């Protein structure tokens, strides 16, 4: 026991002291938060407004183009030809020409610009013209604006899970997001830390220290020490990421909020404007239309303690299951370059489970979902996708039992391969030989 | 008193037998040479003594007790395939290895200080192993092997890769450890080392123990009753009684001849036969070198 603890300590300390660990631990949240902050900052600060000149020969669009935060419209009374000739001298970014016969031939609208105009600008201009023509055509057909507004219906359904405990508002989008995140995290860490275990084993082999070590420590202890040590490294990094992300987000948002008040005031005003123009029936639903609020509300409806504890279980179980196999691969080969041939059968199920996860998200109670969440090769990822949607307790329990049996199995197999492999040099190993090693007496 | 008794050990690998009913005793306080050509089974035997692998049949006793977990800290092992963690610092690495052998961190620290002074490597403590030369790394490995003051030290080809200066340093250390009461097992096929250091030897060939015992006795056993003589004059007439071999010119018109004595004739009788005939400059018995013994023993065994 003392020895396994010493091995864990070494594996942990060596990795945590590495520069790459420090860089990854700090850089990942910085990039993550930085990326978001940049996007938000750009969105806030893009007050770089464009001016668009309009030559409206039809006379139908007077004052229909509304100035917005980013686009200012100005109407020219001159003819299109003189407008064009003046355009290059002006500061305007684009020139919109609406001919007289726009209603009959809407395709004759032209946008002139020194460079290509952005999709956003183009679609905004087109939107206004389309709406106006639509309105004109509708009123020609005898349909008033009022009738039109009343005919627009916004259907919104709420999913309510019916169970013994009664009705509970649930949200499939919240479940999808939570399930997806959990699956992705497990997928990533199995890969990252599994490969670290493998590298560690090959390093001991290629540096030839392994024989010295196993004259003091049982190979099984060395392998388990490594697996546990790396798991703790992963956990440390994980916690540091969460901690750093939260603190960075706090800092970033407080910096950005200096810019925020102006915008949020404008937003509020716009909201009020919109709401005033809206019929009462629609106003009631507008609050719920906000998907973020809906998800946040629904998250509360999810069984958070269950999700968190299952996440920890499957995170650890999946890692143990696969890292043992990765360790066995490391022991079977002489150097990193040779690992490829044995990696495939290990990485395939991980990648497949991630692919299956997309289907399971769509049908969390189907046959595929059930079986893949039972088989330990895929269950750590798939079960985590399903759990936020609600899974019968017996299924979770069964899947957990299988996973525990699974990782006991892979650790057993891996340790059999490991104890033979670490002392085997200069030999290209085949699958047949690996199978033999499992039953060797050492 | 034997520190190690190996009794009828057999070890099979999937396609060959590594050890075939091998028994041998390693006396306490001796330097024991485990000899044999490459692939004879030396490393297999050493791994069994180190409990890295187990025998298929047979038993090993350490100090009279069946070999077990409690003996691991009493053995220091320097394998032939040896190395260190490349990216770890020398000091940390030695502390780690010492703790695996059961020393507390404090004990290990104290002992390491002594060795670092002794080998004059104090500046290495915070160096990464990859910054050391191969010879320097081997010094570190040697320290890690003997730091916990093991009763039994097993060195597998210890001098391979050492430059002569470091090899001497290590040789002196080995002799000093023997003085202090440690038993040392050398596994090697370098006969000069054996000649110089070993008290006892065992020769393993094709998985079997071919011979073992104290070096002097083995040499006695391999003597061919041949004497050499350097002389002036002629040996004519002696060829009826003795077998004369390999006469050749030595310096200053002296000749050198090997004379094989038939059974029952002593060296004194040979001398009295020689004295009237030739002027003798040198006379002595041809004692076989370890290298001769090795070659003969190995070649006597037919190919399996």
Instruction: Tell whether B100 lies on the interface with A, counting CB pairs under 8 A.
Output: yes
Q: Which residue has the tokens 């695996």?
A: B100
A338 to chain B, closest Cα gap in Å:
20
Interface probe for A, chosen from B42, B43, B81, B158 (most Cβ of A below 10 Å), is B81
Interface probe for B, chosen from A13, A199, A215 (most Cβ of B below 10 Å), is A215
Average pLDDT, chain A: 80
With contacts defined as CB-CB under 8 Å, which chain A residues touch B85? 14, 203-204, 207, 209
Contact criterion met (CB below 8 Å) for B244 and B196: no
What count of other Cβ atoms lies within 10 Å of the Cβ of residue B271?
A: 13
How far apart, in whole angstroms, are the C-alpha atoms of residue B82 and residue A84? 83
Interface of B with A in 14-33 (CB under 8 A): 14
- Predicted local distance difference test score (pLDDT) of residue A277: 47
Any idea what the Cα angle at residue A172 is, between residues A275 and A365, rounded to 5°? 160
- Predicted local distance difference test score (pLDDT) of residue A442: 67
The fraction of chain A above a pLDDT of 70, given in percent, is 83
- Predicted local distance difference test score (pLDDT) of residue A279: 44
Q: Is the pLDDT of residue A89 over 90?
A: no
Name the strand (E) or helix (H) holding B287.
none
CB contact under 8 A, B86 and A213: no
Contact criterion met (CB below 8 Å) for B172 and B196: no
* Out of B77, B84, B85, closest to residue A215 by CB: B77
Q: Is the pLDDT of residue B153 over 70?
A: yes
Mean pLDDT, residues A99-105 taken together? 81
How far apart, in whole angstroms, are the C-alpha atoms of residue B285 and residue B295? 20
Q: Is the pLDDT of residue A286 over 50?
A: no
ipTM above 0.85?
no
B201 to chain A, closest Cα gap in Å:
23
Residue A310: both structure tokens together: 């299952």
Lowest mean pLDDT among A186-190, A429-433, B2-6: A429-433
**E strand segments, A139-289:** 159-163, 166-170
- Predicted local distance difference test score (pLDDT) of residue A65: 78
CB contact under 8 A, A211 and B86: no
The per-residue pLDDT for range A143-168, each reduced to its tens digit, is 777 777 777 776 666 666 565 544 44
Contact criterion met (CB below 8 Å) for B107 and B86: no
Mean pLDDT, residues A187-194 taken together? 90
> Which residues fall within 8 angstroms of residue B184, CB to CB, at 6 or more apart?
B30, B31, B32, B152, B153, B154, B155, B174, B177, B178
pLDDT bracket for residue B170 (50, 70, 90): confident
Coil, helix or strand at residue B230: strand
CB contact under 8 A, A215 and B84: no
- Predicted local distance difference test score (pLDDT) of residue B50: 92
The per-residue pLDDT for range B60-83, each reduced to its tens digit, is 999 999 999 899 999 999 998 888
Mean pLDDT, residues A185-192 taken together? 89
Q: Which residue has the tokens 């490459």?
A: B38
Pairing of strands B152-156, B75-78: parallel
Nearest to residue B193, comparing CAs of B211, B212, B222, B170? B170
Mean pLDDT, residues B179-195 taken together? 88
- Predicted local distance difference test score (pLDDT) of residue A292: 54
Contact criterion met (CB below 8 Å) for B186 and B76: no
How far apart, in whole angstroms, are the C-alpha atoms of residue B151 and residue A77? 107
CB contact under 8 A, B79 and A440: no
Contact criterion met (CB below 8 Å) for A248 and A29: yes
CB contact under 8 A, B100 and A3: yes
CB contact under 8 A, B53 and A203: no
Residue A157: both structure tokens together: 């359904």
Burial of A293 (0-12, 13-18, 19+ CB in 10 A): exposed
CB contact under 8 A, B144 and A212: yes
């Amino acid at each position: 026991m003392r020895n396994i603890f010493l091995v864990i300590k070494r594996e942990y300390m060596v990795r945590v002291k590495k520069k790459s660990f420090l860089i990854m631990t700090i850089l990942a949240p910085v990039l993550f938060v930085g990326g978001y902050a940049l996007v938000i900052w750009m969105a806030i600060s893009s007050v770089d407004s464009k001016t668009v000149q309009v030559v409206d020969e039809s006379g139908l669009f007077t004052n229909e183009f509304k100035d917005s935060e980013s686009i200012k419209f100005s109407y020219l009374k001159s003819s299109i030809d003189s407008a064009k000739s003046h355009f290059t001298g002006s500061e305007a970014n684009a020139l919109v020409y609406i001919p007289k016969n726009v209603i009959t031939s809407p395709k004759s609208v032209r946008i002139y610009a020194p460079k290509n105009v952005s999709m956003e600008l183009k679609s905004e201009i087109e939107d206004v013209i389309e709406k106006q023509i639509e309105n004109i055509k509708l009123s020609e057909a005898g349909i008033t604006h009022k009738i039109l507004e009343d005919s627009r219906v916004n259907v919104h359904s709420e999913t309510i899970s019916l169970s013994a405990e009664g009705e509970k508002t649930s949200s499939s989008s919240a479940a999808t997001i939570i399930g997806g995140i959990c699956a992705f995290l497990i997928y990533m860490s199995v890969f990252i830390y599994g490969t670290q275990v493998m590298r560690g084993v090959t390093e001991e082999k290629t540096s030839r220290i392994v024989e010295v070590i196993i004259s003091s420590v049982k190979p099984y202890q060395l392998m388990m020490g490594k697996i546990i040590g790396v798991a703790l490294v992963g956990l440390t990094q994980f916690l540091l990421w969460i901690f750093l992300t939260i603190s960075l987000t706090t800092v970033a948002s407080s910096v950005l909020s200096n810019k925020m008040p102006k915008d949020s005031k404008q937003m509020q005003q716009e909201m009020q404007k919109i709401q005033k123009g809206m019929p009462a029936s629609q106003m009631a639903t507008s609050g719920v239309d906000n998907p973020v609020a809906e998800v946040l509300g629904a998250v509360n409806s999810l069984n958070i303690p269950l999700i968190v504890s299952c996440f920890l279980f499957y995170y650890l179980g999946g890692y143990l299951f696969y890292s043992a196999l990765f360790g066995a691969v490391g022991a079977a080969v002489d150097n990193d370059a040779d690992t490829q041939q044995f990696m495939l059968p290990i990485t395939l199920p991980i990648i497949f489970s991630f692919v299956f996860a997309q289907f399971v998200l769509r049908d969390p109670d189907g046959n595929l979902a059930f079986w893949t969440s039972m088989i330990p090769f895929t269950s750590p990822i798939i079960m985590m996708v399903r759990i936020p949607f609600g899974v019968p307790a017996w299924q979770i329990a069964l899947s957990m039992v299988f996973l525990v049996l699974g990782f006991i199995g892979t650790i057993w197999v891996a340790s059999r391969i490991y104890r033979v492999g670490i002392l085997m040099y200069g030999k290209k190993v085949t699958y047949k030989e690996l199978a033999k090693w499992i039953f060797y007496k050492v | 008193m034997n520190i190690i008794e190996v009794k009828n050990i057999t070890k099979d690998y999937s396609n060959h037998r590594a050890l075939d009913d091998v028994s041998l005793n390693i006396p306490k306080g001796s330097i024991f040479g485990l000899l044999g050509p490459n692939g004879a089974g030396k490393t297999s035997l050493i791994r069994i003594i180190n409990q890295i692998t187990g025998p298929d049949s047979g038993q090993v006793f350490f100090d009279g007790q069946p070999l077990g977990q409690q003996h691991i800290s009493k053995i220091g092992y320097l394998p032939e395939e040896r190395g260190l963690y490349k990216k770890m610092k020398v000091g940390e690495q030695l502390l780690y290895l010492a703790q695996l052998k059961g020393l507390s961190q404090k004990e290990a620290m104290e002992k390491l200080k002594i060795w670092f002074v002794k080998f004059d490597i104090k500046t290495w403590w915070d160096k990464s192993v990859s910054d050391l030369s191969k010879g320097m790394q081997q010094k570190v490995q040697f320290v890690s092997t003997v730091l916990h003051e093991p009763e039994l030290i097993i060195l597998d080809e210890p001098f391979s890769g050492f430059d002569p200066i470091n090899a001497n340093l290590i040789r002196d250390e080995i002799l000093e450890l023997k003085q202090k009461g440690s038993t040392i097992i050398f596994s090697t096929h370098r006969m000069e080392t054996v000649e110089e250091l070993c008290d006892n030897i065992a020769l393993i060939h094709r998985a079997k123990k071919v011979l073992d015992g104290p070096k002097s006795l083995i040499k006695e056993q391999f003597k061919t009753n041949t004497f050499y003589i350097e002389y002036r004059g002629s040996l004519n007439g002696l060829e009826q009684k003795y077998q004369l071999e390999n006469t050749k010119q030595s310096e200053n018109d002296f000749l050198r001849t090997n004379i094989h004595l038939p059974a029952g004739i002593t060296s004194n009788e040979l001398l009295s036969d020689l004295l009237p005939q030739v002027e003798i400059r040198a006379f002595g018995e041809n004692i076989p070198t370890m290298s001769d013994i090795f070659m003969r023993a190995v070649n006597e065994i037919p190919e399996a």
